[in-house]
Homo-oligomer: A and B are copies of this chain.
Amino acid sequence: MNTPPLYRQLANHYLDAIRSGTLKTGERLPSIRLMMEKHAVSLSTAVQVCRELEDYGVLEARPRSGNYIRQPDTLPRPAPTTSAPALDTRAYVGIHEQVCAVLKASQRATIKVNFASAYCAPQLYPLKTLQDNMIKALRYDACLLGTAGGACGNSALRNILARRALASKTHLASERIVITNGATEAINLALRAVTRPGDTVAVESPTFYGLLQILESLNLRVLEVPASAHTGLNLQALQRLLQGPERVKALIVIPNLQNPLGSIMPDANKARLVKLCAEHDTVLIEDDTYGDLVDTEQPLSTLKHWDSTDNVIYCASLNKTLAPGMRLGWISAGKWHDRVEMLKHTQSRGCEALSQLAASAFMKTPSYERYLRRLRKTLTVQREQMSAAITRYFPIGTSVTHPQGGTLLWVELPSRHSSMTFFHDALKAGIQISPGDIFSNARRFDHFVRIGCGAPYSPRVDEALQTLGRILKNQG
């Protein structure tokens, strides 16, 4: 084995110090200058050490003050042992608690405009068609509610999903698809199939807080890998991580329209990512929930497309594209299919038939593709209008992503702003936003905010954005 480069040796030195408790949470890391002196290294090495530690999520940068050690969410928790007398109370705290606090504050408030949702406005979904399909299905089969379905779901729907995947050059065998209660259950099953409590799973940073909640609920340790709004996951950072001391059991990636970044991984990156994970025996869990919302005529490739070793578990959902009120997701787990089928059966049995029938009746017609095209165009207009208004109303120094589809904008505020303060002030004005703080266990994104563009632009939306801009300027 080659000696690791100097910066990694030094980073490991500090990681050990943090793990052993020599450097404690809240303590300041030696400054770059001190590090250079102490270890007789160059500026660039010292900077790389900090970046490495940042990639491990053990540093919290405080503006004008330096880097501080943060521990709980990112360093190995002791593995649960059967002799331990009490429940692991750490499962009760952390990101889930914070997300709940955010959601509960929102529920207590009177919301006039909601920018926190990733869904489209209800009127953009083909609700009438789906309702008609449901009524038809109920009338057609008098026994529909009288019999339980199989654990894997309706075979017509599974066939359609497998056929549609072909368009993005993805081969999913329909008999190895399991219909789930949304992508949430799909990812849950994928993680239960390939990890055990205490294992380490990597995610993009920032990432959808719902994923972080799932990981916390399964007692999995989370490592965050930086991602950019342009090309998504930083492959160099990932490679460093996978070559590091920590065994990473799985990695969850949203390759197309990442939530919240809206990034799309270039094909070359997708290919490299899949290869990298296979090489390190890290299971790659792909969440393709937003793929159908990419504003292109030709569907983008999935990670699964590049997977020649059956190391990618594909998860997706119709929740955002078809109807939030129908809990329809699916998973294609390849060699883990039998285990996923067992877990699905013992976790919640097969999904109800009605939604599956209504969805497949619509999806098998050409209207579905037409509907999707229309939806994508509408969302593009909405995103552009919202983006322009944010640029207009928010303080100078604000920057907004320009995703190629979907409903989400990721807004970086000037660094003096705190998204949690912004969130609470906005709530008081009846406006709900998603504070950046909940998109990372390491709380790296406190001066970011996620803005949903699912609703058509209107004077009310415009006024709400103006109000948000005013709130920020008053804070500044």
User: A-side interface residues toward B, CB under 8 Å?
Assistant: 76, 79-82, 84, 87-88, 91-92, 96, 100, 119, 122-123, 125, 127-128, 130-131, 134-135, 138-139, 142-149, 180-182, 184-185, 188, 194, 196-199, 210, 213-214, 216-219, 319, 323-327, 338-339, 342-343, 345-349, 351-355
Q: Is the CB of B199 within 8 A of A82?
A: yes
Residues on B with beta carbons closer than 8 Å to the beta carbon of A188: 346-348
Q: Is the CB of B354 within 8 A of A354?
A: yes
Q: Is the CB of B348 within 8 A of A145?
A: no
Q: Is the CB of A346 within 8 A of B96?
A: yes
Q: Select from chain B the residue with minimum beta-carbon distance to A182.
A: B349
Q: Is the CB of A125 within 8 A of B148?
A: no
Residues on B with beta carbons closer than 8 Å to the beta carbon of A351: 181, 327
Q: Select from chain B the residue with minimum beta-carbon distance to A219.
A: B196
A and B contact pairs by CB, cutoff 8 A, 26 listed: A76-B82, A79-B81, A79-B82, A91-B339, A96-B346, A122-B143, A127-B142, A127-B146, A128-B142, A131-B138, A145-B325, A147-B324, A181-B348, A182-B349, A184-B346, A184-B348, A185-B349, A188-B348, A213-B342, A214-B346, A217-B342, A217-B343, A218-B346, A326-B352, A347-B347, A352-B355
Kindly provide the distance from the CB of A88 to the nearest chain B CB, expressed in whole angstroms.
7
Kindly provide the distance from the CB of A184 to the nearest chain B CB, expressed in whole angstroms.
5
Contact flag A122-B148 (CB < 8 Å), given A82-B199, A327-B348: no
Residues on B with beta carbons closer than 8 Å to the beta carbon of A217: 342-343, 346-347
Q: Select from chain B the residue with minimum beta-carbon distance to A107.
A: B150
Copies, count: 2
Q: Is the CB of A80 within 8 A of B145?
A: no
State A199–B213 Cα separation when bound (angstroms): 23
Q: Is the CB of A144 within 8 A of B325?
A: yes
Q: Select from chain B the residue with minimum beta-carbon distance to A194.
A: B87
* Additional A-B contact list (20), CB under 8 Å, known A147-B324, A181-B181: A80-B196, A82-B199, A91-B339, A119-B147, A122-B146, A127-B143, A131-B139, A134-B134, A146-B323, A180-B348, A181-B348, A181-B351, A185-B347, A196-B197, A213-B346, A217-B346, A325-B354, A326-B352, A352-B352, A354-B354
Q: Is the CB of B148 within 8 A of A324?
A: yes
State A326–B149 Cα separation when bound (angstroms): 10
